[in-house]
Amino acid sequence: MFSRHPDTMKTPCVSLLLGVCVLLLSAPTVSAVSLSVSPNLQQFFRGSSSVYLSCVDDGQTADGWTVKRTRGGLTEDCGAAGSEFSRINSSFCALGLSTGGSFLCVSSSGKQSDEVSISVSEGSVILEIPALPVMTGSDVTLYCTPKEGERRKSYFIRDNVPLGSGPEGKWILSTVQRSDEGLYSCYTDIHPPSPQSRLRVRDLLTPLYPPLSAPPPSESVLRLFCHLVVLCLYCISTGLLLSTCCSRKTPNKPAVSMEMSQHDGGGQGLAEDGDDVTDDDTDDVTTEHAF
């Protein structure tokens, strides 16, 4: 009789478990960390008070994350020498308003949060618009604020299309929907247009702060295709491993056949006179083992 080592029988199952672990570990990790901006605005006048930026996770400071700024194709860490982009602690920074840029949180492993753009204007009017995404169904108020003097009647534009005018430099977006997303600006009768800033809207069923910046459409299609290929390969390999586990059965027990022949060829286990067959009545006994 031949026997198989237990480790040999366990190999396909162990391989299957390792495959599942590798798939889970290789899946993209979604981060809930987002960039917080205070005050929650995108446009500021040059030389005004500082803006404070921090990396937060569910309202708490996220350790191990750093605020970074991108401008002119270069990326700058918070607290860089000789910069107005100063560090208060590991995840909290203050931005002196001399230059703007795009800001985001980056972890030590390279994960990134969403980006927030901040404009520093030398003009005479700015648009006060939220820097962070707003939820669908909420009300948002935009203000056209001059550098000097009181707010006055202002005109608001979205994606270069006039929306209308608002008294006291105010425009209210009621029950915001995704269709309200776009580039907004404003101007008055005596002030040129402000810089453009994008209003971002998030559905109630999606995170308020997307963990990763939205990839270009071509990259999204490629990523979807890669995920489908990986899923198909995983299903095929899993099926093969399961079939291998099921096909490995315990070896058949050895067949043993007994062939007995009587001395005179006519005995069938009992003598003709009804007496039991004795050892003397048996000519020979042949035992055949088939393995």
Which tens digits make up the pLDDT trace of 144-160? 999 999 999 999 999 99
User: Of the given ranges (75-89, 166-180, 257-271), which has the lowest mean pLDDT?
Assistant: 257-271
Percent composition of the chain: helix, strand, coil (DSSP 3-state, to 5): 20, 35, 40
Q: Per residue in 73-90, pLDDT tens?
A: 889 988 887 788 888 876
Written as one letter, the residue type at 228 is: L
Q: What is the arithmetic mean of pLDDT over 196-224?
A: 63
Residue 243 confidence (pLDDT) above 60: yes
Q: Where does 10-139 show beta strands of DSSP type E?
A: 34-38, 43-45, 51-57, 60-61, 65-71, 74-77, 85-89, 92-95, 101-107, 116-121, 125-128, 134-135
Quick check: 49 and 200 in contact, CB under 8 A? no
Joined tokens for residue 257: 């056949």
Q: What is the arithmetic mean of pLDDT over 238-253?
A: 66
Residue 282 confidence (pLDDT) above 60: no
Mean pLDDT over each residue of the chain, to the nearest integer: 76
Phi, psi of 217, deg, nearest 5: -55, -40
* 253 compared with 96, residue with greater pLDDT: 96
Identical fold for domains 32-121 and 123-212, yes or no, is yes
Arch. (CATH architecture) of 123-212:
Sandwich (2.60)
Half-sphere exposure of 210 (CA within 13 A, CB side): 12
- CATH class for the domain made up of 32-121: mainly beta
pLDDT of residue 188: 96
pLDDT of residue 274: 45
Q: Where are the domains of the chain?
A: 32-121, 123-212
pLDDT of residue 194: 97
Dist. CA 95–CA 118, nearest whole Å: 10
